[in-house]
Structure 1
């Protein structure tokens, strides 16, 4: 009885049951009326026969005995055959049936006709609605084939057909997700190629110019030394840019799985700072670490170190000689927060909502050597681990970046 799981089929089956019950009731009522008519006519015939016998001066006791007599004799059979009342001839009971059957036959034929009309009409209506549903489903599936997913198949019902619709909907959702991913991948690839071309244009042009100068003055050692150093800086910038682009590509396409584990905050901060101590020393800036060494957080240590390092690089890019960069951390009952703070130039209010965008640079920024990817990469790393990266800054007073992670220890 699995076909009854579908709502429309269940309704149609119930409709047929009701019609059949109605037909049975109509035939039963007709049979009752016919039996009553036959009984009435038989009683009328018995009254006529009794009256005739009494008129022939047959005693009432003999008439009553005849009506209650059940035995059959040969004389009785011969008498009935003589007057034509046998199994092979028309009897008075058959005459009674003929007298009562005309309107009964008409009634039964009418009931059968009504029954046929109701069944055929109900079946036609059911099939018409089903055909309309199939046509609408065919239209929706054709839209799915064209990557249009505004309309959906019927849902919320039981039955095999709606289970099929549910499976098709799941397939359509998978196709939609795949289509969106392909579209995003194409857009990402287009933007990535455009960004790489734009970002590499300047260092490549500078590198080409330096090589031409060295080529034109090979005997001038000082010139060769100066422009060789500039060439090295351009190559280093290109390497940083390409590495950052590759990391962003891996993060944006979901190819990186963060391996979170318990690690000491002091170790994460220390590794990030150590990579930049030489640069800070050369620029006359100081990097301080402040926090309880026993505090731990749940994160991917290598990638979190990358994010903290990018924030420190950003601070170095926007501070002057003698300025201080401070890395600290603190735990609350709800979150673990690491802070990278500086007393540099700060961020203009019109720029603060855009600094995490890829390749964004403020018009007032004095940094001309950055790639414009450090803050965006840091934000992707932190948010990829379920954390949050936020900033607060005022021009001329420095900036504060917060890396916030949920407390899971």
Structure 2
């Protein structure tokens, strides 16, 4: 009986059982008392009949034999019919029935009425309590529909109703998580739009100024070439900025699914520095790659190369001409470590705890064109794959960035 699993229903059912048992006991006691009354009335009738017969000078032995006589004769039937004592005589006309059956019927009616009242009162209380439970549950569910999750449905009970409440609570948790995610997404979108507007303001203003200069001096070939080159640089910066912002947005909103597979660390490093070798050559800097060429790691190669490339770019930004950027890797029992080390200016202690924040740029940065997104993007990529990105640096001695990924 599954309906008994619910605590309140089980209590109500036990209440009905107790009432029924109590009713049977009381009716049994009434029957015993009624039987005693019948016995007393019969004895009094026998005493009365015996006394009358003795007054009529009937021998006592004959009177005693009459009480023990069981044979029915025609004369006896005729006598009783004459005085109105037959099977067809209405019960209410018979004195014995009046003295026994009618009180018994009244007692049973009273007991039935009493117990019916108790059962109906108990049922009314049960259903009223259940109605209040439904009303409270309805209020909570309406709060859930309005994205208000400060109250909760009753829990801890058993039975189908509480299983239903548990399912609704699970649904409410999903709705709450979705609502919080939407709220964060709206906040992120608002901040992202503000950041994009702020970051694009400078290159757009510079590009507008370059176009005005070119328009004012169309005959000055040197000025046209110079400011055309600067315009292209501003456009490239805008493109890099927009691409970085879009990547950050995809990572922060969780829309990126990292497709991990085994790849060679040497191929990963080559892919990361491919677009930076020419810049390093032009700036008089070296990029060295060190490590076992046969070593493999388990990661999303495209995104990890993006993170590693950002670390190399950051090293180039903070290394003077003649400096060296060294990429290396090493396998440990549980993790795989990629390192990017430079011998540049290093990071000040007041900046080292903020460099992974979006749009953060130290006051000593020589990369005036940067937007402060590279390190933040690299850390998000590492953490998105279950890894981590850390830094160790001393001013004037260079920095070491370590990208840690767990092995498969």
User: How does the TM-score come out when normalised to structure 1?
Assistant: 0.91
Query: Which residue of structure 2 lines up, in the alignment, with residue 273 of structure 1?
Result: 273
Please say if residues 355 and 375 of structure 1, whose CA atoms lie closer than 8 Å, have aligned partners that are also in contact. Answer: yes
**Distance in structure 1 (CA, Å) of the matches to 2:196 and 2:394:** 32
Please say if residues 85 and 94 of structure 2, whose CA atoms lie closer than 8 Å, have aligned partners that are also in contact. Answer: no
Greater mean deviation of Cα atoms: 258-267 or 35-44 = 35-44
Query: Which residue of structure 1 lines up, in the alignment, with residue 179 of structure 2?
Result: 179
Q: What is the deviation of 1:221?
A: 1.7
Q: What is the deviation of 1:298?
A: 0.8
Please say if residues 91 and 97 of structure 2, whose CA atoms lie closer than 8 Å, have aligned partners that are also in contact. Answer: no
Q: What is the deviation of 1:303?
A: 0.8
**Distance in structure 1 (CA, Å) of the matches to 2:150 and 2:82:** 89
**Distance in structure 2 (CA, Å) of the matches to 1:91 and 1:6:** 50
Please say if residues 84 and 91 of structure 1, whose CA atoms lie closer than 8 Å, have aligned partners that are also in contact. Answer: no
Once the two structures are superposed, residues 282-313 of structure 1 have per-residue CA deviations (whole angstroms, 9 ceiling, x without a partner) of 11222222222222111011111111000111
Question: Cα gap change, 1:349/1:371 in structure 2, threshold over 3 Å: closer, same or farther?
Answer: same
SS at match of 1:359: coil
Query: Which residue of structure 2 lines up, in the alignment, with residue 231 of structure 1?
Result: 231
SS at match of 2:155: coil
- Structure 1 runs not aligned, ≥5 long: none
SS at match of 1:350: helix
Query: Which residue of structure 2 lines up, in the alignment, with residue 370 of structure 1?
Result: 370
SS at match of 1:393: strand
**Distance in structure 1 (CA, Å) of the matches to 2:92 and 2:67:** 16
SS at match of 1:366: coil
Query: Which residue of structure 2 lines up, in the alignment, with residue 407 of structure 1?
Result: 407
Once the two structures are superposed, residues 118-141 of structure 1 have per-residue CA deviations (whole angstroms, 9 ceiling, x without a partner) of 223222322322232222222212
Q: CA RMSD in A?
A: 2.5
Q: What is the deviation of 1:189?
A: 1.8
Question: Cα gap change, 1:266/1:78 in structure 2, threshold over 3 Å: closer, same or farther?
Answer: same
Query: Which residue of structure 2 lines up, in the alignment, with residue 70 of structure 1?
Result: 70
Q: What is the deviation of 1:48?
A: 4.8
Question: Cα gap change, 1:92/1:202 in structure 2, threshold over 3 Å: closer, same or farther?
Answer: closer
Please say if residues 389 and 401 of structure 1, whose CA atoms lie closer than 8 Å, have aligned partners that are also in contact. Answer: yes
**Distance in structure 1 (CA, Å) of the matches to 2:349 and 2:76:** 126
Query: Which residue of structure 1 lines up, in the alignment, with residue 298 of structure 2?
Result: 298
Query: Which residue of structure 2 lines up, in the alignment, with residue 261 of structure 1?
Result: 261
**Distance in structure 1 (CA, Å) of the matches to 2:92 and 2:155:** 66
**Distance in structure 1 (CA, Å) of the matches to 2:374 and 2:289:** 21
Once the two structures are superposed, residues 196-246 of structure 1 have per-residue CA deviations (whole angstroms, 9 ceiling, x without a partner) of 111111111111111111221222222122212211211111111111112
Paired residue total: 407
**Distance in structure 2 (CA, Å) of the matches to 1:161 and 1:252:** 40
Please say if residues 41 and 96 of structure 2, whose CA atoms lie closer than 8 Å, have aligned partners that are also in contact. Answer: yes
**Distance in structure 1 (CA, Å) of the matches to 2:37 and 2:178:** 77
Greater mean deviation of Cα atoms: 84-93 or 257-266 = 84-93
Query: Which residue of structure 2 lines up, in the alignment, with residue 31 of structure 1?
Result: 31
Question: Cα gap change, 1:219/1:92 in structure 2, threshold over 3 Å: closer, same or farther?
Answer: closer
Query: Which residue of structure 2 lines up, in the alignment, with residue 198 of structure 1?
Result: 198
Once the two structures are superposed, residues 352-378 of structure 1 have per-residue CA deviations (whole angstroms, 9 ceiling, x without a partner) of 222112111122323211121111111
**Distance in structure 1 (CA, Å) of the matches to 2:186 and 2:241:** 21
Question: Cα gap change, 1:95/1:392 in structure 2, threshold over 3 Å: closer, same or farther?
Answer: farther
SS at match of 1:351: helix
Q: What is the deviation of 1:172?
A: 2.4
Q: What is the deviation of 1:108?
A: 3.6
SS at match of 1:117: helix
Q: What is the deviation of 1:57?
A: 4.8
Query: Which residue of structure 1 lines up, in the alignment, with residue 134 of structure 2?
Result: 134
Once the two structures are superposed, residues 28-47 of structure 1 have per-residue CA deviations (whole angstroms, 9 ceiling, x without a partner) of 11012111221233244345
Please say if residues 38 and 97 of structure 1, whose CA atoms lie closer than 8 Å, have aligned partners that are also in contact. Answer: no
**Distance in structure 2 (CA, Å) of the matches to 1:407 and 1:12:** 59
Q: Aligned runs of 1:119-158 on 2, under 5 Å? A: 119-158=119-158
Q: What is the deviation of 1:188?
A: 2.0
Please say if residues 84 and 90 of structure 1, whose CA atoms lie closer than 8 Å, have aligned partners that are also in contact. Answer: no
Q: What is the deviation of 1:102?
A: 6.7
Q: What is the deviation of 1:165?
A: 2.5
Q: What is the deviation of 1:386?
A: 1.3
Query: Which residue of structure 2 lines up, in the alignment, with residue 218 of structure 1?
Result: 218
Once the two structures are superposed, residues 315-344 of structure 1 have per-residue CA deviations (whole angstroms, 9 ceiling, x without a partner) of 111111122212111111121111112222
Question: Cα gap change, 1:51/1:58 in structure 2, threshold over 3 Å: closer, same or farther?
Answer: same
Query: Which residue of structure 1 lines up, in the alignment, with residue 284 of structure 2?
Result: 284
Please say if residues 319 and 342 of structure 1, whose CA atoms lie closer than 8 Å, have aligned partners that are also in contact. Answer: yes
Query: Which residue of structure 1 lines up, in the alignment, with residue 59 of structure 2?
Result: 58
SS at match of 2:352: coil
